[in-house]
C-alpha cells in the first residue's frame, strides 16, 4: 500500500507546489466580496465571467499601492489623494500582482497581493508578461538548460553596485560561512537606463576570465521600476549564454524578476545568496565531526572484520598443520588402542566365561573321569598333529630346495661365471637387444653386444655367415674376435646353445 497522507501533509505539499510554480504573477479581474476587518488587512474576491479567486492584501504591503506619490509600476507621479487601498471597492476592474499560496485551515488556495492597480494603467506589467512569454517560448526558463550550483564554491564573482547595502550584507555573511572563498566584485549599475548593458557586459567579462565557479547577481529591494533592469531581454540573454552558473538575489522575498526565471538558482534576497552558497562553519565542523565519527566506526568495524578473518585463518592453518595432524592421529590411535584393549578384555572375558560354562556342561554331561580321558586323548592327538606338521614342512622344504636348484640351472647368466659369454644384436639387421641364436641372424656391418662375466664388449660383424668374424667395436673396442672363442682367441663361428661362448 502506498503512503497515506494526512490532510495537513497533503495541504502542505500542495502549498509548496503552488508557491514554487506561481512565485509572482499578474491577475486581472473584478473586485467582489470586499472586506476590511480591524486588522487593516483587505480581503476580496477577484472574479471574471468564468471563475473566482480569493485575494488577501496584507496591511504591510498596502503601502506599495500608491501612498508614496509615485506609481511603482509606471513611475508616474500620482495625483494627491490617490490611494488604491483606500479607494478599492466592489465592482472595480483591477490588476493584482502577487503569489499563489494555500490557506491551510480552510484548504483554499488564494492570491497574496503585493501590488494592486486599476486595470489599464500598468504598462510595465504588460511589458513584463510579454517578455516573460517570449523568453519562455525561447526555452530560457527550461530547467533542462540550468546548471548545477557547486556546493561551497571557492571562487565567486559578484555583479552589483559596490556602494549598496546588498553587497555589504553579502560580504559580511560570506566571511562567516563556508571554508573560505575568494570573492571578486564586478561593479555595475543595477538601476537606470545604462544598467542592463553594464550588467550584461559584466556577465560576459566574468565568463571570458573563466576564474569564477559561480556568478552572483545581487541587488537590494526597490519598486518595480527600480528593479526593471533585471526585467530586460539584454540581461536575460547574457545570463542564458553564460557558461558559468548564475544565481540571483534581487530585491525582497516577494520580488520576482525575469532574471530570477533565467537564473540557474534564485534566492529571495542578497543575504539569502550568501547563506545558500556557503553553509555555516559550525555546521561544517559538525559535519566533519560526524564524518570523523563515521570513519572511526567504519575503521573499527573493518579492523574487527579483519581480525575475525585472521582468527579463522589461524584456526584453519592450525587444523591443517602437520603437528596438529599428528596430534589428531595420535589421539585417534590412542582412542583405538583403548577401544581395542577394552574389546579384547571383553572378548577374553566372554571366552573365559564360555569356556567355564562349557567345562561345567561337559562335567555335567560326561563326568570328571570321562572329561579327563578325553583330555588325554586330545593331548595325544595334539602330539600326532605336531609330528605330521613337521613331516609335511620337511617335505615342502626339500621340494623348495630342488626347485631352487633347477631354477638356478635355468639362469641364462649363470654360465657367464663359468667362462661363457652372452651375445645380443645391437643394430642394423637384427632387432636391437635380441639374443643371437644363429649365424644367419646377422650380416656384415651389424653391431653386437657381447656380455662376459666381468663386463661387456662391443663388436662388428665383418663377414657373412659361414665364417663369422667379429671386428673391433666403436670407440677403440678390442680387435677382431670370433664369437664364442675361449680366451678371446680367433676361431671359426662356434656357438654354444643359448649363444653362450665359453671363455678360458
In tens, the pLDDT along 314-329 reads 887 777 777 777 888 8
Bridge partners of residue 471, in order along the sequence: 460
Mean pLDDT value of segment 159-163: 90
Is the pLDDT at 148 greater than 90, yes or no? yes
348 within a domain of the structure (yes/no): no
Mean pLDDT value of segment 341-363: 87
Is the pLDDT at 435 greater than 90, yes or no? no
Let me know: does 37 contact 29? Beta carbons within 8 Å: no
Owning domain of residue 60: 7-121
User: What is the C-alpha end-to-end distance of the chain, expressed in Å?
Assistant: 115
* pLDDT recorded at residue 411: 73
Based on the fold, state whether residues 310 and 386 are members of the same structural domain. no
* pLDDT recorded at residue 80: 42
* pLDDT recorded at residue 119: 67
Based on the fold, state whether residues 377 and 427 are members of the same structural domain. no
Helices (H), 245-321: 258-262, 270-277, 281-320
Confidence of residue 2 (pLDDT cuts 50, 70, 90): low
Is the pLDDT at 350 greater than 80, yes or no? yes
Bridge partners of residue 266, in order along the sequence: 248
Let me know: does 109 contact 101? Beta carbons within 8 Å: yes
332 within a domain of the structure (yes/no): no
Task: Give the sign of the dihedral formed by CA 389, CA 391, CA 394, CA 395.
Answer: negative
Confidence of residue 471 (pLDDT cuts 50, 70, 90): low
* pLDDT recorded at residue 446: 83
Q: Which cell numbers hold the place of 153?
A: 564554491
* pLDDT recorded at residue 476: 42
Based on the fold, state whether residues 374 and 404 are members of the same structural domain. yes
Based on the fold, state whether residues 241 and 162 are members of the same structural domain. yes
Number of domains in the chain: 5
* pLDDT recorded at residue 496: 37
Is the pLDDT at 414 greater than 80, yes or no? no
Is the pLDDT at 100 greater than 60, yes or no? yes
Based on the fold, state whether residues 14 and 68 are members of the same structural domain. yes
Confidence of residue 223 (pLDDT cuts 50, 70, 90): low
* Mean of per-residue pLDDT scores for the chain: 81
Based on the fold, state whether residues 399 and 424 are members of the same structural domain. no
**Euclidean distance between CA atoms 16 and 8, whole angstroms:** 12
Based on the fold, state whether residues 419 and 488 are members of the same structural domain. yes
Based on the fold, state whether residues 273 and 286 are members of the same structural domain. no
Based on the fold, state whether residues 452 and 481 are members of the same structural domain. yes
Considering only 348-357, 399-408, 467-476, which range has the smallest mean pLDDT?
A: 467-476
Share of the chain above pLDDT 90, in %: 27
Indicate the pTM of the whole model: 0.42
Nearest to 272 by CA among 241, 245, 251, 294: 251
CA distances from 397 to 74, 386, 387, 403 (A): 143, 16, 15, 10
Q: Which cell numbers hold the place of 304?
A: 574487527
Out of 74-78, 230-234, 435-439, the most confident range is: 230-234
Out of 112-121, 278-287, 340-349, the most confident range is: 340-349
* pLDDT recorded at residue 184: 95
Based on the fold, state whether residues 209 and 224 are members of the same structural domain. yes
Based on the fold, state whether residues 394 and 295 are members of the same structural domain. no
351 within a domain of the structure (yes/no): no
Based on the fold, state whether residues 238 and 158 are members of the same structural domain. yes
* pLDDT recorded at residue 218: 94
Is the pLDDT at 106 greater than 70, yes or no? yes
* pLDDT recorded at residue 123: 61
Amino acid at each position: 500500500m502506498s503512503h497515506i497522507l494526512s490532510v495537513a501533509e497533503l495541504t502542505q505539499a500542495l502549498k509548496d507546489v503552488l508557491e514554487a510554480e506561481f512565485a509572482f504573477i499578474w491577475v486581472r479581474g473584478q473586485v467582489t466580496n470586499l472586506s476590511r476587518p480591524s486588522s487593516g488587512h483587505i480581503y476580496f474576491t477577484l472574479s471574471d465571467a468564468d471563475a473566482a479567486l480569493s485575494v488577501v492584501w496584507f496591511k504591510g504591503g498596502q503601502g506599495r499601492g500608491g501612498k508614496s506619490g509615485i506609481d511603482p509600476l509606471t513611475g508616474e507621479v500620482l495625483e494627491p489623494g490617490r490611494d488604491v487601498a483606500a479607494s478599492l471597492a466592489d465592482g472595480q476592474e483591477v490588476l493584482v500582482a502577487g503569489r499563489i499560496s494555500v490557506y491551510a485551515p480552510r484548504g483554499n488556495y488564494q492570491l497574496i497581493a503585493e501590488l494592486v492597480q486599476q486595470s489599464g494603467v500598468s504598462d510595465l506589467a504588460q511589458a513584463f508578461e510579454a517578455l516573460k512569454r517570449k523568453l519562455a517560448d525561447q526555452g530560457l526558463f527550461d530547467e533542462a538548460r540550468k546548471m548545477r550550483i557547486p556546493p561551497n564554491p571557492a571562487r565567486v564573482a559578484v555583479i552589483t553596485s559596490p556602494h549598496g547595502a546588498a553587497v555589504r550584507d553579502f560580504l559580511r555573511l560570506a566571511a562567516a560561512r563556508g571554508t573560505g572563498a575568494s570573492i571578486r566584485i564586478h561593479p555595475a549599475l543595477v538601476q537606470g537606463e545604462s544598467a542592463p548593458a553594464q550588467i550584461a557586459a559584466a556577465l560576459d567579462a566574468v565568463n571570458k576570465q573563466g576564474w569564477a565557479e559561480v556568478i552572483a547577481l545581487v541587488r537590494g529591494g526597490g519598486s518595480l521600476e527600480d528593479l526593471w533592469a533585471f526585467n530586460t531581454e539584454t540581461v536575460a540573454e547574457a545570463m542564458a549564454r553564460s557558461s558559468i552558473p548564475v544565481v540571483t538575489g534581487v530585491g525582497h522575498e516577494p520580488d520576482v524578476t525575469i532574471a530570477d526565471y533565467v537564473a540557474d538558482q534564485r534566492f529571495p534576497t542578497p543575504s539569502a545568496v550568501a547563506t545558500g552558497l556557503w553553509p555555516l562553519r559550525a555546521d561544517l565542523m559538525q559535519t566533519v565531526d560526524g564524518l570523523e565519527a563515521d570513519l572511526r566506526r567504519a575503521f573499527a568495524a573493518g579492523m574487527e572484520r579483519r581480525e575475525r578473518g585472521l582468527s579463522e585463518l589461524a584456526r584453519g592453518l592450525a587444523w591443517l598443520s602437520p603437528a596438529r595432524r599428528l596430534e589428531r592421529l595420535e589421539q585417534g590411535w590412542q582412542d583405538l588402542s583403548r577401544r581395542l584393549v577394552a574389546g579384547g578384555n571383553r572378548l577374553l572375558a566372554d571366552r573365559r566365561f564360555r569356556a567355564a560354562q562349557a567345562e561345567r556342561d561337559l562335567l555335567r554331561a560326561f563326568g570328571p573321569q570321562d572329561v579327563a580321558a578325553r583330555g588325554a586323548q586330545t593331548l595325544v592327538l595334539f602330539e600326532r598333529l605336531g609330528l605330521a606338521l613337521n613331516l609335511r614342512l620337511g617335505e615342502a622344504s626339500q621340494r623348495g630346495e630342488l626347485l631352487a636348484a633347477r631354477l638356478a640351472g635355468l639362469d641364462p647368466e649363470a654360465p657367464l661365471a663359468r667362462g661363457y659369454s652372452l651375445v645380443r644384436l645391437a643394430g642394423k639387421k637384427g632387432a636391437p637387444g635380441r639374443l643371437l641364436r644363429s649365424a644367419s641372424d646377422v650380416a656384415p656391418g651389424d653391431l653386437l653386444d657381447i656380455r662376459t662375466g666381468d663386463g661387456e664388449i662391443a663388436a662388428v660383424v665383418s663377414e657373412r655367415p659361414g665364417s663369422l668374424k667379429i671386428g673391433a667395436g666403436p670407440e677403440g673396442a678390442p680387435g677382431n674376435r670370433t664369437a664364442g672363442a675361449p680366451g678371446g682367441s680367433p676361431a671359426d663361428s662356434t656357438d654354444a646353445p643359448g649363444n653362450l661362448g665359453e671363455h678360458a
